[in-house]
């Protein structure tokens, strides 16, 4: 297939592009940078609403990963507005453009997030049938997912992937944690009782390829290991994989001062216990179902 990927240079996108290419697909990158003739790339500018339909001729599938990083900066009202706008505006532009093509792609996989379910779900196992929760990120994800509707109305099969935290030492959350854990100052965050829904990066991109090829799957899909853990359990597993102690908890007040109270409550002290019901029902097999085994494999 000819597969268009937005966010193809990012942490997940670069891994996915490599996976799809190795499977024999042709990857077209959707980029904000100028595009030279002959490149497998398409230029767009979501802020100004620029995306030429003619540039998408022949695209058979779309994976949409682009958006402002949620945890890249301390939450201010300005940053929160950029997060919401980048997700809704870019998704809507892409969905409307592909929906208006004479020959639209067959499928659009659009990344959203586990925060759809809110940050106060406690120990309740969350499947795709659960309702949205509360908080800023839940509102972002609801509007983010709704922005795919023009593609759906055009008859394109739309899959909305509610992803847990993808783990790889090459980037993302795990890479940021490695240094403090390696020097022996890693520890649980606050009480450590909050659930942490994770997925190895290898399983994340394999699941996305699976969804691109599964004609009978549409709508929301939880992308997460079948065995979510608490923050305290993840902390012990990472320490064990590195052979380092993890006896220094990070006080809640220090985290709130560093990130802002709202950001800390939603992204660090809040949690979601995701269950990948639709993937499992469809027969998807996880390479890394257990967190300690997965971490040991990644960190070797």
Count of residues making up the chain: 300
Distances (CA, A) of 175 to 168, 170, 211: 7, 6, 27
> In the prediction, which pLDDT does 50 show?
95
pLDDT, position 37: 72
Dihedral sign for Cα atoms in the order 254, 259, 263, 266: negative
Distances (CA, A) of 238 to 81, 117, 233, 299: 34, 26, 9, 9
Give residue 98's pLDDT.
98
DSSP-H helix ranges across 100-169: 136-146, 149-153
**Overall number of domains in the chain:** 1
Instruction: Output the CA torsion 5→6→11→12 (10° steps).
Output: -50
Residue 297 located in a structural domain: no
Q: What is residue 156's predicted lDDT score, i.e. its pLDDT?
A: 98
Confidence at residue 105, expressed as pLDDT on a 0 to 100 scale: 98
DSSP state of 24: T
Give the pLDDT score at 257.
Answer: 82
pLDDT of residue 16: 98
Confirm whether pTM is higher than 0.75: yes
Judge whether 298 lies within some domain.
Answer: no
212 within a domain of the structure (yes/no):
yes
Residue 17: which domain range? 2-168+199-224+274-288
Q: Is residue 37 part of a domain?
A: yes
Distance of CA 30 to the CA centre of its chain: 17
User: Which pLDDT belongs to residue 230?
Assistant: 96
Separation in Å, CA 21 to CA 1, 4, 210 = 10, 12, 14
Q: Burial, 43: exposed, middle or buried (Cβ in 10 Å; 0-12, 13-18, 19+)?
A: middle
Domain membership of residue 145 (yes or no) is yes
Q: Residue 141: which CATH number?
A: 3.40.50.720
Instruction: Indicate whether 13 belongs to any domain.
Output: yes
Of 45, 160, 51, 28, nearest in space to 100 by CA: 51
Distance CA 116, CA 141 (A): 5
To the nearest 10 degrees (0 to 180), the angle between helices 172-182 and 231-242 is 60
Region of residue 251 (phi > 0: left; psi between -120 and 50: alpha; otherwise: beta): beta
Q: Would you write out the chain's pLDDT as a tens digit for each of its 300 residues?
A: 999 999 999 999 999 999 999 999 999 999 998 887 778 999 999 999 999 999 999 999 999 999 878 877 788 899 899 999 989 999 999 999 999 999 999 999 999 999 999 998 788 999 999 999 999 999 999 999 999 999 999 999 999 999 999 999 999 999 999 999 999 889 999 999 999 999 999 999 999 999 999 999 999 999 999 999 999 999 999 999 999 999 888 888 888 888 888 888 988 888 999 999 999 999 999 999 999 999 999 998
CA distance 209 to 10: 17
């Amino acid at each position: 297939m000819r597969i268009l990927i937005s966010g193809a240079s990012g942490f997940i996108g670069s891994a996915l592009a490599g996976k799809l290419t190795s499977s024999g697909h042709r990857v077209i990158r959707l980029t904000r940078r100028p595009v030279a003739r002959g490149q497998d790339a398409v230029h767009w500018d979501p802020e100004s609403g620029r995306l030429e339909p003619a540039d998408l001729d022949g695209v058979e599938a779309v994976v949409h990963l682009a958006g402002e990083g949620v945890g890249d900066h301390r939450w201010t009202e300005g940053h929160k507005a950029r997060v919401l706008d980048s997700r809704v505006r870019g998704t809507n532009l892409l969905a409307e453009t592909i929906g208006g093509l004479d020959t639209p792609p067959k499928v659009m996989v659009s990344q959203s997030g586990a925060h759809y379910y809110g940050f106060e779900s406690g120990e309740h196992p969350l499947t795709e049938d659960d309702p949205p929760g509360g908080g800023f990120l839940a509102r972002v994800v609801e509007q983010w997912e709704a922005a795919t509707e023009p593609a759906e109305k055009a008859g394109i099969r739309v899959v909305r992937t509610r992803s847990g935290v993808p783990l790889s030492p090459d980037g993302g959350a795990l890479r940021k944690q490695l240094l403090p854990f390696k020097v022996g100052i890693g520890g649980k965050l606050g009480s450590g009782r909050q659930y942490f829904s994770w997925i190895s990066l290898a399983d994340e991109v394999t699941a996305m390829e699976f969804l691109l090829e599964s004609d009978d799957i549409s709508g929301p899909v939880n992308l997460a290991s079948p065995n979510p853990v608490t923050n305290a359990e993840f902390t012990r597993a990472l320490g064990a994989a590195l052979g380092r102690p993890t006896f220094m908890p990070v006080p809640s007040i220090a985290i709130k001062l560093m990130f802002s109270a709202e950001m800390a409550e939603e992204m660090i002290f809040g949690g979601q216990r995701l269950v990948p019901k639709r993937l499992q029902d469809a027969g998807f097999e996880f390479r890394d179902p257990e967190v300690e085994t997965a971490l040991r494999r990644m960190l070797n």
